[in-house]
Structures are given as structure tokens and as C-alpha cells.
Structure 1
Amino acid sequence: MTVSALTPRRYPEPRAMLRLIKPITWFPPIWAYLCGSVSAGVPLGGNWPLVLLGMILSGPIVCGMSQAANDWCDRHVDAVNEPDRPIPSGRIPGRWGLWIALAMTGLSLGVGSLLGVWGFWATVAGVIAAWAYSAEPVRLKRSGWWGPGLVGLSYEGLPWFTGAAVLLGAAPRFEVVVVALLYALGAHGIMTLNDFKALEGDRQHGVRSLPVVLGPEVAARIACTVMAMAQALVVAFLFVLGKPWHGLAVTLLLLAQFAAMRVLFRDPKGKAPWYNGTGVVLYVTGMMVSAFALRGLV
């Protein structure tokens, strides 16, 4: 082994910094922000700068910041679950993980201020939620109910609301808020399935995720029930709003998810990553269908 291999790094590895903010996690808030922009009913042609800035803020900046904060606060858990992650592996040494998270917190607030009053205060709410989820003494991720609920609200409901509010320059319509909240509720199930990958470390460090407390089989059924019920309520709401074709489209997407759920239930722990690439795609497709239904109400 060379001397350089034995010497701890002084500065973060650039590739590890990118992995720290996890680009793969940016899609849900970006997509939700776009859904919110569509649902506002405002012409998008002349507002693309605001839409694109909001999508960048929601994904790479705020979501990236939340991932950096989570990895810093979870560095001991990750040393058990995934020791090759940037912080426990030493590729991001010392307190650099914390400094990156704090710097991105400041960047989030700065960029959020460019989106007006609604955009700024929504960013403040997102930043608070990110740190409340991961950091002591609050650390809501210890709860299998409150943790996924907060993430679902932050990843789906808050960006949707913000996308609409920024374009409107005012609070979105009641119908928009209802649909955003329903999809945020359903995202609780998505986040529960995401907890399957950290079972061993969560057990050792007292994180009471639903897969830890109830076991993978029961947790998977609860997650899928929550996702399905939220979408069923969306379908009913769309029919009430006089959008039957959009409601039918979301129904078909939900039926396709039922087929994927049957596969998931055969091996919840092993199939959770597969379901995130199939059933969740169908879920977020229904989000955009619903956004266009709301847009048609204006």
C-alpha cells in the first residue's frame, strides 16, 4: 500500500461531492414543481425562466442540500449500511460534509429569494424540513410515520404548491392545493419503500422506520395502500371537478401499479428497488395528468 493511500484526504474528491448530493433524488421535486407550474393555468411560454429556475432550485439545490445534510447526520448509520458512501469512505473528509450542507443551505435561500415572496418562504420551509428530518435533536427520520410524511410533503406537496404560487404570484386555488396534498400523502408510501435499503443500519442506530418496526412484508403493504388510497382520492376528486377522462387515465395508471404491487409483495426487500423504477414512474405520470386536468379548469 502506498503512503498516499494511507494519508487521509484534506479536500473532498470532486466525484464524491456529486455523489453526496445524489442527482438521482432530484427528479421528484423537479417533477412536482413542473406539475405545479402546469396546474397554475398561467401561460408557460413567457414564464420559462421562472419555471426553470424553480426546477433547478427544487432539485439540484434544495434537494441536493437535503441529501448532503442527511449524509452528514447519518454518517454513523452509513458506515454500517453503505461504508462506500462519500463521508464514511473518507472521500469527503473531516467536516467537509457539514460545510457543504451549510453552504448549500445559504445558496438555497439566496436563489429562493429570486422567485419572489412565495418562492422565498417556500424555500425557507423546505430548508427547515430538510434539517428537521436529519439533524438532532428533532431528527424526524427516527419515526417511520413522521419521517416519510415530512419527506413526502417536501418532495411532492411543497414543490407543487410553490410552482403554482410563483407563477400566480398568489396562493394557488383550492383544487391545486388539494391535489398537491393528496400526492404528498401518497409519497409517504414511496419514502417507506426507500427505507428498505437501510434496514440493518437503522436497526443498529435506533431509526424506527416501518420496515424495521413492522417488518418488510407489512411495511410494503402499508406503503402500497397509502399510495393507492391517495390516488383513488385524486381520481374521485377529478370526477367531481368534471374531468372524467383525466380521472380515467389516472385510474388506468393505478391499475398498472396494482400489477407491479403483486410482484413487490412476493419479495418486498428484494423488489423494492425494482418497484421504485416501475410503480413510482406510473405514480408520477398520474401527477402530470392531474396537473393538466387542473390547468383545464382555468
Structure 2
Amino acid sequence: MSGRAELDAAPATQTRAYPAPGAVLELLKPITWFPPMWAFLCGAVASGAAFGEAWLLIAAGILLAGPLVCGMSQAVNDWFDRHVDAINEPQRPIPSGRMPGRWGLWVAVAWTGVSLAWGAMLGAWGLIATACGVALAWAYSAPPLRLKANGWWGNLACGLAYESLPWITAAAVLTQAAPRPAVLAIALLYGLAAHGIMTLNDFKAIEGDRRSGIRSLPVMLGPERAARVACWFMAVPQAVVVALLLAMAAPLEAAIVAALLAGQAWAMRRMLTDPRRLAPWYNGTGVVQFVLGMLASAFALRAGAGL
């Protein structure tokens, strides 16, 4: 089965007419909301805005980045990945039948509309950024582009959407102007580094990806080579961030990011001894240091260092 017929077919026998209680929230995957919410917070810090005066706008932006746009992207992904999930994670709402029929698609469409409406309330910059996030989410998961079918492009789109876009959005919304070049550069570097994190996240789905034709990097390169590529993607952009912070006269923040990168290097070295088993472990250790480096960089930008 392939093409349109595959997308329309249900991966599991449906026994319900409506979603089970809690299935919609599970479809939106709250556990995935943290990265874009944190990136939006970093962008808010970098913007220089006074939190006491802009707290309501910041809260609205964090809600947009996490529960709305990220939640919408998860619903879109689960709908178009339901056949892969039937292999890898059959307990998920759609393949398990707890989200019957085309309810997964309707939730994705409805949440897209809610996200765009909420983004519009944040002004022109908010609407533009939300439209970009929505476009990336659908392009990542849905035919005909389905960027996730190729690990190079899909992980790049995901990293930019999860890290760079929320950061840039916050800086633009809170200043009502295009972000400074330094803000753009560091936000884009962290989005590029997130490509490696996305690659490690693909390790849990190798078998289903291989059987369904999704060419993730672990499928294309094998676990060992993919893990090494992921490490380079994570490390090199952060090293460039350190260099930029030094060039911007922020030696303390540069030292913090460098120390956190050294901690990640230790975790990478351990993870490379058994990538398939230790990739989840790295996501619980190295990624914490990654996001702390983001915040340190944001404070450097807030302090007034810039290009």
C-alpha cells in the first residue's frame, strides 16, 4: 500500500466514534513543548525587554510557541506518521484507536487555525512568525514535501522551527522590529545545532523508519556514523557561538558556554560507545547543558553586546 491510499487507510481497527478522554492532549505531546518555549524565553531575554512591563506579552508568546504551534506540529506529525507509529509506537492515540477515524487530522487543522489567530494577536511580527512555523510543521510531515522523509532536510527544518524561530519571534514581537544581526546569528546557530539533537531523537524509530521508507540519518548512515554526525552538528555551531560572544566582548558568557560545551563533549564521548542504547541518555544529560548555554548567550545579548 502506498501513496494516497496509504495515507487514507487506518493503521488500526477503529472501535470508537470520538477520541478517548485525554487522547487529544496526548496527541499534542506536552513533553515536546519545552524546547520552543525555552527558545522563546531566550529570545525575550535577548530582546532587552523589561519583564515586569512585558510579562503578559511574554506569557502569550510562550503559550504560542509551546501548546499551540508545537502542539499543532505534533498533531500534524502523528497524523501523517500513523503507519510508522503503528510499527514503532502502537500505543499512541491514532494507531491504538483512541483517536479514531480522521479525528487526528481534524485536531491538526483546528489547532493550526487557533495558532494563527493567537499569533495575529501578537501583532504583525507574531502573525508572520506563526505562519512560518505552521508552514514548516506541515512541510515537515505532510506530502508532497514531507521533509522528514530525508534526515538532512527534515532535521534542519525541525531544529530551525524548535529553536531559531521562537527565539527570533520573541525578539521581534517584544521590540516590534527586526532582530539585531547578533540575535539572528546566535538564534540560527542554535537551530543548526539542534539538527544533531533531532538526529539522536530518530534513533528510537529506526525499524519503523526503515520499513516505511523514511530516510532518517540513522537509517541512511547507520547508528554509529549518524551519532558522530549528530555530535558534529551539535558541537560546531556552539563553538562558533563561543567565538561570537568573545568577539562581542562577553567573556563571562563565552566561558560559560564553552564549559557547558565541554560537558556535552564528555557526554558525547560516552554516547558514541553505544549510540542506540545511549542516545536517550544523552538527550537527558547533554541537552540540559545545551539549553543552559542558550540562556547564557541570551543574557550576553541582553547586556548590550552586539554587532
Q: Aligned partners of 1:144, 1:208: CA distance in 2, in Å? A: 6
How much has 1:14 moved relative to structure 2? Answer: 2.1
Tell me the TM-score normalised to structure 1 length.
Answer: 0.97
The residue type paired with residue 175 of structure 1 is A
**Match of 1:25?**
32
Matches within 5 A, 1:65-76: 65-76=72-83
- Structure 1 distance, partners of 2:15, 2:151, is 36
Choose which of 254, 261, 277 in structure 1 pairs with 2:284. 277
State which of 197, 206, 222 in structure 1 corresponds to 2:204: 197
Counterpart CA distance in 2 for 1:217 and 1:57 is: 37
- Quote the Cα distance in structure 1 between the aligned partners of 2:109 and 2:68: 12
Any idea what SS the aligned residue of 1:12 has?
coil
Aligned residue identity for 1:54: G
Question: What is the letter of the counterpart of residue 67 of structure 1?
Answer: Q
Letter paired with 1:254: L
Task: Give the equivalent residue in structure 1 for 2:224.
Answer: 217
The alignment of Structure 1 onto Structure 2 pairs a total of residues equal to 293
Structure 2 counterpart of 1:280, which letter?
V
Q: Partner letter of residue 246 of structure 2?
A: F
CA distance in 1, matches of 2:50, 2:304: 14
1:240-259, aligned counterparts within 5 Å? 240-259=247-266
Q: What CA distance in whole angstroms lies between the structure 1 residues aligned with 2:271 and 2:30?
A: 25
Aligned to 1:101: 108
Give the equivalent residue in structure 1 for 2:267.
260
1:43 positional shift:
1.2
Cα distance in structure 1, aligned partners of 2:122 and 2:182 = 23
State the alpha-carbon separation in 1 of the partners of residues 225 and 287 from structure 2: 19
Q: Does 1:47 align with 2:54?
A: yes
Report deviation, 1:7.
Answer: 7.6
Distance (Å, rounded) in 2 between the aligned partners of 1:66 and 1:278 = 25
Deviations 1:45-65 (A, max 9, x none): 100000000000100010000
Inter-partner Cα distance in structure 2 for 1:225 and 1:7: 44
Match of 1:290 in 2: 297
Q: Residue type of the partner of 1:206? A: G
1:81 shift after superposition:
0.7
* Percent of paired sites with the same residue: 62
Over 2 Å off, 4+ runs: none
1:116 corresponds in structure 2 to 123
Residue 164 (structure 1) shift: 0.5
Q: 2:138 aligns with which of 119, 131, 135?
A: 131
Task: From 182, 185, 188, give the equivalent of 1:181.
Answer: 188
1:157 aligned partner, one-letter code: S
How has the CA–CA distance of structure 1 residues 152 and 7 changed in structure 2, closer, same or farther, with 3 Å as cutoff?
Answer: closer
Q: Distance in 2 between matches of 1:259 and 1:7?
A: 47
Q: For residue 3 of structure 1, what is the aligned residue in structure 2?
A: none
Q: In angstroms, what is the RMSD of aligned CA positions?
A: 1.0
The 1:146–1:7 alpha-carbon spacing in structure 2 relative to 1, beyond 3 Å, is: closer
Unaligned runs of 5+ in 1: 1-5
Q: 2:20 — aligned with what?
A: 13
- What is the aligned counterpart of 1:59 among 55, 61, 66? 66
| From 232, 235, 242, the counterpart of 1:228 | 235
